[in-house]
Structure 1
Amino acid sequence: MSNDSCGLPLDTDALGLTCIYGLVFTVGLPCNLLSLWGLYHLGRSGSGGCQLVYILNLLLSDLLQLLTLPLWILYLQDAHRWRYGQLACELVGYVFYVNVYASVMFLCLIALDRCLAIVFPLSSRRVRTVRVAAVSGLAVWTLTFLFCLFGLLPSVFDSERLLCLEHYPVSPRYAHFKITTVALGFLLPCAILGYTSAHIWVTLRHSPSLSAHERRKIVGILVVITVNFIAVFGPYHLVGGYRFVSLLQADEPCTLERSIFLLYRLCYGLTSLNTMLDPLFYIFLCADARLELRRSLPCSGRGQNAGKVTAGSSRAHPDAHEQSGQNHVSVA
């Protein structure tokens, strides 16, 4: 079970990645579907505002990746042999990259939206609209698709060894593409996240008008975004950055590939964990997520009663408070 070019032990990552993908698929799929269903009904009630658009796009991106995980598990169990054809490999590989960098961009938009809502609650109203959010979402999808398409052409499939989305050793063109993704798809968004988070924390410390409930929501959203960047996307991009920069300078690239293979592959698998964390945004967006979800589910016998109890609270989402007065600082 080794690669013909570098003698890589391709079976060493099968157990770890299979466990990660199996857990993510089992937990992430129902959580994302429930969150999407709840957000759909929240949007129909007129609540959520522009951040609802960003979170919906984020969850849709996660759902695309979740649906590809069974194929990756089969690929791993077959000793890194992709038996479903070149087109399927390119589509699945494309979905992986698009999910990673679309997720990063939407997380940045959520953080930027929170910063504008808290630091500039009045002057930002003109740009914090559903229409602007929809245009921003469309721009993110378009740029991400084009960027990933450029990097993955001409193909991510090795027809001789049946490898999918793997290159050993990588070509200089692919290495440059990956270094660019680290710079533009991770380091730059990290800088944006750090800038917005610093402004939010300063404002929270000097804003007595915010209620304890609003503060908890803000902190919860920032924690989810930060964990996604540091624990989920961080290892993959930092290890990957080291790998591809070193490969461009290495005299014996296969030696480096063998030494870093397992670590890089496990970090690669960790990126799928964001599909388990992103549904938490629904909890921080909805005033009472549990009762709101029960109200929206037709199979819940107590849904109608719960709906009567929570209808007022869902309509009274903090986004509406932005319109209620000039002196109140809204964070919705």
Structure 2
Amino acid sequence: MTGTFELLNFLLCAANTGFQDVMDMTPTPSSGNNNLNDANTCGVDLSQDAIYLPVIYGIFFVIGTPLNLMALFGLYRLIKTENVLPVYVINLLLSDLLQLFTLPLWMDYYSRGHSWRFGSTSCQLLGVSFYVSIYTGIAFMCIIALERYLAISKPLRFQALRKLNFARWIALSIWVVVALPPSIALHTMQPNDNHTLCMERYPSKEGFITYRLITLTLSFLIPLSFILFLHRKTLRSLSAIGALGAEEKHRIRGFLILLVVIFILVLGPYHVTGCVKYIGLLLHGDACEWEKAVFVPYQLGRGLLSLNSLLDPVLYTFLRNDFRAAAGHYLPCLRRMQESVNRSVSHQRTTTKSTSGLVDQPVITINTEPHS
């Protein structure tokens, strides 16, 4: 109960002061040399990420929150159309917002040298929310890749799969299925021990190592293979379509390539270093030495996970012409920006035509003189 009151007080203070207290980068004595944590028997120096993670999470929170909210505002009316893609995009952005809302508490936790002060239950809820946001985002990226494949390669088949009601049920099912495993494994991820670490232990327990290896494999290697397979099939089908213009094909190819690149660059470091970490714990003779060796790379990869909150609105909202037009309609700032670009392009074309007309004018005059 005390932890709950502290959590509420922290959120109120953060809202009023702009997270100034959260951004205090001085780690507490519980990290580093004066280890007061019975969950860190390895003596890992937990102050190594006391600056990096709070700073990068602060940047993501400040920029990503309004960016995702604006994207949602520009997309929600597209749900009324029979286009299913906005349903998946909106759910992707909701997963980003869920992750963003956990960042202030993580900033407080890491700036204090991995010292959680709000109680075990709130830590469990925060950890589940963070992981659910990541894995639902991955699932919706796969669904978006599949939807693009069906729309391009099989436009006349699987019509029932591309109905709006079906898309809503799929989205709801993804949230339920993804949320179940971490909710059930609460006691494994954060036992009710008397320590201040949240969602971590050094060294990790064998049961938790097995759980993480399974989730890392299911959430990265399999989705990556699925997306790469669809990417190849979609590009092959796109090349065979003669009805689309070259510019449209180029835009679709860019969309698919960016999807793969972001999946690898944003999610890859965390999942790869995670697999290396937990496999090494099973094979390495000294688990504590291995924990110390992989601590910094693993935390760096963890920080990059939240980069999705900045890239998803840009990739899935403004890259598509229809989404960009809708966002410009509902967001005056984007509309004015687009109009400014259009005026600039129009001015350049006018200048080019005027110059061309001045060069060709003598020829036109000569050709028309016999007819006067």
CA displacement 1:22-49 (0-9 Å, x = unmatched): 11111111110000001112324x26x1
1:177 maps onto 2:223 in alignment: no
Q: Which contiguous aligned blocks of 4+ residues in structure 1 show a shift greater than 4 angstroms? A: none
Count of residue pairs the alignment pairs up? 299
Residue 287 of structure 1 is matched in structure 2 by 322
CA distance in 2, matches of 1:74, 1:286: 40
Secondary structure of 1:11's counterpart equals coil
**Superposition pairs of residues 191-206 of structure 1, within 5 angstroms:** 191-206=225-240
2:165 to 112, 115, 131: 131
1:32 to 65, 68, 84: 68
Pick closer, same or farther for the CA change 1:220–1:152 going to 2, 3 Å.
Answer: farther
**Superposition pairs of residues 17-56 of structure 1, within 5 angstroms:** 17-44=53-80, 46=81, 49-56=83-90
Q: CA deviation at 1:135?
A: 1.5
1:86 maps onto 2:120 in alignment: yes
Secondary structure of 1:181's counterpart equals helix
1:284 aligned partner, one-letter code: L
Secondary structure of 2:162's counterpart equals coil
Q: Is the 8 A contact 1:224 1:278 kept in 2?
A: no
**Superposition pairs of residues 1-332 of structure 1, within 5 angstroms:** 1-2=31-32, 3=35, 4-44=40-80, 46=81, 49-156=83-190, 159-280=193-314, 281-287=316-322, 289=324, 292-297=326-331
CA displacement 1:79-128 (0-9 Å, x = unmatched): 11111111211111111110111111100000011111111111132211
Q: TM-score, normalised by structure 2?
A: 0.75
Q: TM-score, normalised by structure 1?
A: 0.84
Q: CA deviation at 1:244?
A: 0.6
Quote the RMSD (CA, aligned, Å). 2.1
Q: Taking every aligned residue pair, what percent have the same amino acid on both sides?
A: 36
Q: Is the 8 A contact 1:18 1:73 kept in 2?
A: yes
CA displacement 1:280-302 (0-9 Å, x = unmatched): 2111345262x5334324x87x9
RCO higher in structure (CA 8 A, sep ≥6): 1
Pick closer, same or farther for the CA change 1:294–1:225 going to 2, 3 Å.
Answer: closer
Q: CA deviation at 1:213?
A: 4.6
CA distance in 1, matches of 2:250, 2:312: 17
Secondary structure of 2:47's counterpart equals coil
Pick closer, same or farther for the CA change 1:288–1:192 going to 2, 3 Å.
Answer: closer
2:51 aligned partner, one-letter code: L
Q: CA deviation at 1:134?
A: 1.2
Q: CA deviation at 1:228?
A: 2.8
> Which structure 1 residue ranges, 5 or more long, are not aligned?
307-332
Q: CA deviation at 1:227?
A: 2.6
Secondary structure of 1:165's counterpart equals coil
Q: Is the 8 A contact 2:224 2:263 kept in 1?
A: yes
Q: Is the 8 A contact 1:111 1:196 kept in 2?
A: yes
CA distance in 2, matches of 1:80, 1:192: 36
